[in-house]
Amino acid sequence: MPETKQPIIQIRNVSKRFGKVTAVDNISLDILAGEFFVLLGPSGCGKTTLLRMIAGFEMPTEGQIIIDGQDMSLVPPNKRPVNMVFQSYAVFPHMNVTDNVGYGLRIAGVGKGEIRDRVAEALELVKLGGFEDRMPDQMSGGQRQRVALARSLVMRPKVLLLDEPLSALDAKLRAQMQFELSDLQDKVGITFVTVTHDQDEALSMASRVAVINKGEVAQLAGPSDLYEYPANRFVADFVGSVNIFEGKLTLDEPDKAAVDCPGLGKIYLNHGVTGPHGADVWVALRPEKIYLHVPGAGKAIRAAAQDAPDGHNLARGTIKGMSYLGDITLYEIQLEGGQVIRVSRPNLSRHDQEDFTWDDKVSMHWRADSPVVLLS
Amino acid sequence: MALFRSAPIAPLEYTRKLWMRGWVGLTMLFLYAPLLVLMVFSFNDSKRNVVWKGFTLKYYEKALNNDSLVEALVNSLTIAFLATIISLVIGALAAVMLWRFRFPFKGLVEGTMSLPIIVPEICLGVAFLIFFAKVEWPTDLMWPLNLSAITIAHITFCFPFVAMVVRARLASFNKEEEEAAKDLGATEWQAFRDVLLPHIQPGLVAGALLAFTLSLDDFVITFFTSGPDTITFPVKVYSMVRFSVTPEVNAASTLLILLTVILTFIALKVQGVKGITETH
Amino acid sequence: MSGALQDWKSQKKPFAAIASVPVFWLALFFVAPMAIVWLYSFGENAGPADINISGTLDNYKRAIEWLYLSIFLKSLAVAALTTLICLIIGFPVAMAITFAAPKWRPWLLLGIMLPFWTNLLIRTYALMALMGTNGYMNKGLGGLWEGASWLRTLVGMQPLEAWTPIQLLYNNFAVVLGLVYVHLPFMVLPLYSALDRLDKSLIEASLDLGAGHFKTFMQIVVPLAAPGIVAGVMITLVPALGAYLTPDLMGGTDSQMIANVIERQFKRANDWPFGAALSFLLIYAMFILIALQSMKANKTKEVR
């Protein structure tokens, strides 16, 4: 599907340096019309700088940004076909809701009647009908954010930029707004570009995510690909929780591969990885993809792990820590080699968390399609 | 080429716009040119001020040999020193009083205390002139007691400024810190000394600096308060300027400007650039 | 949280220890002198050094005669003009400081504050030296004049007459320039602190919604910096209205301000009751200005 869409924003070899600090380092990427694009990364990775360059508040040191086919290098922010929802919302404190939302239209010289209609429509869209005369300091953070959203949407921009839109909201409201934002984007059909440091937010809302690290794109993929097929250790570690072990590639054929990890054991995969034989690689294994067994259940394990040759994808250890989180229980297990691995286990029935406890010796296995081999 | 090419100016980088830089530059020129010219020509070997005739220190020599000028300078510094110390004590007490206690007529006391800041200098000067005449304050005391009237006047308009600065600093004090100290076994006095005092210290330094400069700077109030034999530096310079512009005055003024700059840099060393600029 | 205030009754001894000195000082050396001036303003001269407080209103009647009222109004006009010029010069400077790179900001601020700490008399004197008939300002103007003259000869016109130094000092222009010179830092600092508190993303949001820099300035920056503008105006207007030194040294015979008239009553004319009445009229004028400001401040609070 995305192949048929046109890029609305083209970022071409853009770099931004502040003095000696490089905030954005030669990034190139296309954002397609109508998609919900998320820039994800830790704080200080350059994602906000990139967003601000799209909006026109920062100028690229090198490279160019093309929006809707037009080079933006010399276009000031007030002439760009994009609008932004600020992290602090930047709702004008001296204007009521109507004046805030109508501000851009007034500046553009739109007629009074049309302003009234479009403001009402925008307020309806963000569910703020009835708040027309409120001043910003009489509103909650969530409501102010809706004002900021309506204020931008009323301009009918080609692209809506959102800077950490949910960071200032409490957990419950955040979850609700995630759904609402996705919904809204569906309804208005405008391209959304969002910056966030929160991986849950990115995975739940985005159609595509660019993970940014130290000013570079670490991976550009859809949410599930990002989680299941991380391209490198940074992405594997930043998106979700993961166990990473160093190893050597001992077998690499089109339909199978094996890695010898001194810390974990022999690992077998049911697909090739195209790495040089004998290379140093890393194996990433998500905690929820590891099965726990009581020792002595040897037969059951062998039955479960029959998609790998004998002695592969198995490990033994001692439970050194556990935390009960309600839906799952998280275990820290010390392997025989001394390293610690994290395993999560769904509490499918009420007493599941009682199966294993501190200092229990346990066995583990995982399926041959679970580990991910990372070359960098 | 690339070396000289700078990034395009971002929308909020107003300071990088040329007209803005020119504006700030001209303003700074306006503020500093007169002072710099005065300082440079204090070394000029000429009676007339405008043409450079060669370097000389003779006007400094003259100024320092001018007994009444030196006496005025010593008087000014003595008054400023005394007024600063006493204003600091009274101002800090006033700040703590208003910050800590609820008492009858508090609004009245607070308002009255801000009056010396608002009331025009000339009115305050007149008030002291009448007051010291009315109570027949002795004018023929020996040094430094002959400065007492001026010092009292200076303290009266300095300490409300100190109180204002210290109170602003007190407002940011987290009372839980004091409670934590007491929780850890400190007495009332120890908690004050170890927690509150360090917190308001920047305010005290800023207040002292402000009081010192205000006192040293004051002409109008002193002009009305000083007796015939008690002359301060601004009053002396005023009478010299009234008669004629002499290079001696340039030299003495340069010395006082240098004193201000030195004081500023001491304050900078104590508090850092940010500390100084933020307390004002 | 600054916590609750303590009632003085619950801590009488510490309260007495802390409060007695400032309250006593204020009462003896501020309230008492001001009260005496106030009483004198209702008195009449009974002898060379003797004033009879008779409750007469003659001093106030004389003060609102046109001769004095016109000086009063003129002082107000000069102070207002000074304030306006300071605002026009100071606003871009405050903007520049606010948006300067963080490492430059404190130094720019220091640059504004250093003259403010320098002795007022010395600064006035330095400016006078520059403005004298053979000072640099005259030289600069002379240079411009000769340049213009040379340009005229270039296009074949008669050269201008030779430059004669003009009298820049001892007139109203000099007084306003001197007051601006002295009070500019007072204006810049409150403007800066108001602009510094302003959330920069509000300006960006306005630009983002299509407004240019001028519209953003008028519709967003000025309304939100209004408290700082009012503070800056007050902090400049009030001392400029009561200025004594600048009109005394830089003004001519027709540029007297109210403070000079007051001074004359005490130092030369020896009419203390009349001087006292003028002093109090000046103080009342200050009160009115401050009351207007606080009314304005309350109004903006209500609107919010």
Q: What is the CA radius of gyration of chain C?
A: 25
Q: Do B42 and B253 contact (CB within 8 A), yes or no?
A: yes
Given A211, A236, A261, which residue is the final one in a domain? A236
Same domain? For A30 and A98 the reply is yes
Chain Cα centroid distance, residue A351: 33
Same domain? For A181 and A93 the reply is yes
Alpha carbon of A83: minimum distance to chain C alpha carbons (Å): 6
* Cα-based distances in Å from B279 to A246, A368, B4, C86: 55, 65, 39, 22
Alpha carbon of A245: minimum distance to chain C alpha carbons (Å): 44
Q: Select the residue of B49, B93, B249 nearest C18 (Cβ to Cβ).
A: B93
Q: What percent of chain B shows pLDDT beyond 70?
A: 92
**CATH code for the domain of A347:** 2.40.50.100
Q: Which residue has the higher pLDDT, B159 or C159?
A: B159
Which residues of chain B lie closer than 8 angstroms to A57, CB-CB? 10-12
**Which residues are A372's β-sheet partners?**
A284
**CATH code for the domain of A28:** 3.40.50.300
Instruction: Enumerate domains of chain C plus CATH numbers.
Output: 13-56 (no CATH), 65-132+168-303 (1.10.3720.10), 134-166 (no CATH)
Q: Please give the Cα distance from B24 to A124 (Å, whole number).
A: 47
Determine the residue among B6, B97, B187, B214 to mutate to test chain C binding: the one whose Cβ has the most chain C Cβ atoms within 10 Å. B97
User: DSSP of C127-179, one letter per residue?
Assistant: HHHHHSTTSHHHHHHHHHHHHHHHHHHHTTPPPPPPP-----SSSHHHHHHHH
CB contact C81 to B (< 8 Å): no
The average confidence (pLDDT) of chain C is 88
pLDDT at C76 over 60: yes
Q: Please give the Cα distance from B236 to C304 (Å, whole number).
A: 52
| Residues contacting residue B72 through CB under 8 Å, at least 6 positions apart | B231, B232, B233, B235, B236
Same domain? For A230 and A246 the reply is no
Q: Do residue C118 and residue B27 have CB atoms under 8 angstroms apart? A: no
Given A187, A204, A236, which residue is the final one in a domain? A236
Alpha carbon of B53: minimum distance to chain C alpha carbons (Å): 15
Residue in A closest to B6 by C-alpha:
A61
Q: Please give the Cα distance from C43 to C46 (Å, whole number).
A: 9
CB contact C87 to B (< 8 Å): no
C125 closest CA partner among B243, B263, B158: B243
Q: Which residue has the higher pLDDT, B2 or C164?
A: C164
In total, how many domains does chain A have? 2
Chain C 143-202, residues with CB within 8 Å of chain B CB atoms: 181, 184-185, 189, 200
User: DSSP of chain C, one letter per residue?
Assistant: ---PPEEGGGGHHHHHHHHHHHHHHHIIIIIHHHHHHHHHTTEEEEETTEEEE----HHHHHHTSHHHHHHHHHHHHHHHHHHHHHHHHHHHHHHHHHTS-TTTHHHHHHHHHHHHHS-HHHHHHHHHHHHSTTSHHHHHHHHHHHHHHHHHHHTTPPPPPPP-----SSSHHHHHHHHHHHHHHHHHHHHHHHHHHS-HHHHHHHHHTT--HHHHIIIIIHHHTHHHHHHHHHHHHHHHHT--HHHHHH--TT---HHHHHHHHHHTS--HHHHHHHHHHHHHHHHHHHHHHHHHHHHHHHH-
pLDDT tens per residue, range B210-229: 899 889 888 999 999 887 77
Tell me which DSSP letter residue B156 carries.
H
Q: What is the dihedral of CA C11, C16, C19, C24, to 10 degrees?
A: 160
Same domain? For A254 and A306 the reply is yes
CB contact B54 to A (< 8 Å): no
* Domain map (residue ranges) of chain B: 59-278
Q: Please give the Cα distance from B132 to B149 (Å, whole number).
A: 7
Determine the residue among C209, C229, C300 to mutate to test chain A binding: the one whose Cβ has the most chain A Cβ atoms within 10 Å. C209
Q: Which residue has the higher pLDDT, C304 or A237?
A: A237
Q: How many CB pairs under 8 A join A and C?
A: 66
Which residues of chain C lie closer than 8 angstroms to B27, CB-CB? 89, 93, 184
Q: Do A36 and A192 contact (CB within 8 A), yes or no?
A: yes
Q: Do A180 and A24 contact (CB within 8 A), yes or no?
A: no
pLDDT at B178 over 50: yes
Q: Please give the Cα distance from B100 to B225 (Å, whole number).
A: 35
> Tokens representing B261?
């700059």
pLDDT-derived band at C222 (thresholds 50, 70, 90) equals: very high
Q: Which helix (H) or strand (E) holds A69?
A: none
Same domain? For A250 and A361 the reply is yes
Same domain? For A164 and A81 the reply is yes
Residues of A contacting chain B (CB within 8 angstroms): 56-61, 73-74, 76-77
Return the residue matching tokens 């400049």.
C236
Q: Do A96 and B48 contact (CB within 8 A), yes or no?
A: no
Same domain? For A287 and A355 the reply is yes
Same domain? For A132 and A7 the reply is yes
pLDDT of residue A243: 92
The average confidence (pLDDT) of chain B is 85
CB contact B12 to A (< 8 Å): yes
First to last CA, chain C: 24
CB contact B6 to A (< 8 Å): no
CB contact B108 to A (< 8 Å): no
Return the CATH number of the domain spanning residue range B59-278. 1.10.3720.10
Q: Which of A200-204, B124-128, B273-277, C283-287 has the lowest mean pLDDT?
A: B273-277
Q: What is the ipTM of this complex?
A: 0.86
pLDDT tens per residue, range C113-158: 888 888 888 899 889 888 887 777 888 888 888 888 888 888 888 8
Same domain? For A247 and A212 the reply is no
pLDDT at B3 over 50: no
**Positions of chain A with pLDDT under 50:** 1-3
pLDDT tens per residue, range C195-216: 998 999 999 999 999 999 999 9
Q: How many CB pairs under 8 A join A and B?
A: 15
Q: Do residue A56 and residue B9 have CB atoms under 8 angstroms apart? A: no
A146 is in which domain, residue-wise? 2-236
pLDDT of residue C1: 37
Which amino acid is located at B173 in the chain?
F
Q: Select the residue of C199, C202, C209 nearest A107 (Cβ to Cβ).
A: C209
Q: Please give the Cα distance from B181 to B173 (Å, whole number).
A: 14
Q: Which residue has the higher pLDDT, A296 or C271?
A: C271
Alpha carbon of A18: minimum distance to chain C alpha carbons (Å): 11
Given A199, A215, A236, which residue is the final one in a domain? A236
Q: Which of A234-248, A271-285, B94-108, C25-39 has the lowest mean pLDDT?
A: A271-285
Same domain? For A53 and A174 the reply is yes
Average pLDDT in the B65-70 region? Answer: 87
Q: Do residue A107 and residue C210 have CB atoms under 8 angstroms apart? A: yes
Same domain? For A48 and A160 the reply is yes
pLDDT of residue C150: 85
Which residues of chain A lie closer than 8 angstroms to C207, CB-CB? 56-57, 76-78
Return the residue matching tokens 């000086």.
C71
Same domain? For A143 and A68 the reply is yes
Average pLDDT in the B117-126 region? Answer: 91
Average pLDDT in the B8-33 region? Answer: 87
Q: Which of A96-100, B203-207, C172-176 has the lowest mean pLDDT?
A: B203-207
Q: Do residue C209 and residue A151 have CB atoms under 8 angstroms apart? A: yes
